[in-house]
Amino acid sequence: MRVALTPPALKRDRFCTVVSVTDTGDGDLVSFEGIDDLTAAEGITGCYVLANRDDFELDSLDAAYTDLMGREVVDERFGSLGTIVEIMSTPANDVWVVEGDRYGEVLIPVIEQVVLDLPDQGTISVHVMDGLIDMDK
């Protein structure tokens, strides 16, 4: 995959190719073509790596942050839960923070068992697991 390193530098190419990605358990270790020694690696410290969105294969639950914020979430049993106001990233999966008038704040794990329909636009359909909604509200 060809990526861009930003901010650009005068003494290195702005674009480079990803050679390998290794899961270390604490994050990913990425090797770039042309970054072969400590001096070169230090030269890209603090850089952002930008990739073309079309170069990724996304599964059915992947969506861009900006495509989710403010979207209405409707549960098949409880009806409208509100809108997505925050997205929390956890090691296991993302969690949508949904706020609405009826149930207040509801934390929805973004997993196949919960998210029933995630269209490109409009209402998102879910099946919230028992215990996630405070029925006292």
Q: Is the pLDDT of residue 137 over 60?
A: no
Whether domain 65-126 has CATH 2.30.30.240: yes
13-21: average pLDDT = 91
The pLDDT score that the predictor gives to residue 116 is: 94
Note if the pTM is more than 0.95: no
Rounded Cα distance, 69 and 86, in Å: 7
Q: What are the CA-CA distances from residue 24 to residues 21, 27, 28, 29, 30 (Å)?
A: 9, 6, 6, 7, 10
87-94: average pLDDT = 87
Token couple for 6: 């930003």
Q: Is the pLDDT of residue 125 over 60?
A: yes
- Structure confidence at residue 98 as a pLDDT band (50, 70, 90): very high
Q: How far is CA 99 from the centre of its chain?
A: 19
Token couple for 74: 């409707």
The pLDDT score that the predictor gives to residue 59 is: 60
Q: Is the pLDDT of residue 41 over 60?
A: yes
The pLDDT score that the predictor gives to residue 134 is: 72
- Residue ranges covered by each domain of the chain: 2-55, 65-126
Which residue type, as a one-letter code, is found at position 47? C
